[in-house]
Amino acid sequence: MERDTAEVMAINALGFLASDADRIEAFLSLAGVSPSELRRSAGSAEFLAGVLDHLLQNESLLLEFCTTQGLDPTEPARARRQLPGASLDY
């Protein structure tokens, strides 16, 4: 998977989180960012990596995202490996 494809998936994941008030509030709380910081950071590859990290740490959220996007549940982990700070666990 190319880095651009990984970033698009992460942007889609952010949109998925933002489409539900409870999901986005949980993400913002765990990430320690405010809505204004979210707007400023959303284009950063490092921030997008954090979005995928958030999904990958919650299986039910991951599966819901993959279902809505028509993705195999292994794809977000593949995307995460293309972004900064990836660990070997993905």
Confidence of residue 35 (pLDDT cuts 50, 70, 90): confident
pLDDT band at 41 (very low <50, low <70, confident <90, very high): confident
Question: What per-residue confidence (pLDDT) applies to 17?
Answer: 96
Q: What is the mean pLDDT of residues 42-52?
A: 90
What is the reported pLDDT for 89?
Answer: 55
* Count of residues in the chain: 90
- Whether residue 83 contacts residue 52, with contact meaning beta carbons closer than 8 Å, is answered with yes
pTM: 0.88
Supply the DSSP string of 17-62, one letter for each residue. Answer: HHTSHHHHHHHHHHHT--HHHHHHHTT-HHHHHHHHHHHHT-HHHH
> Looking at residue 11, what DSSP letter applies?
H
Instruction: Name the residue ranges covered by the structural domains of the chain.
Output: 3-80
Furthest-apart CA atoms within the chain: distance in Å: 32
pLDDT 10s digits, 4-14: 899 999 999 99
Site of tokens 């977000």: 76
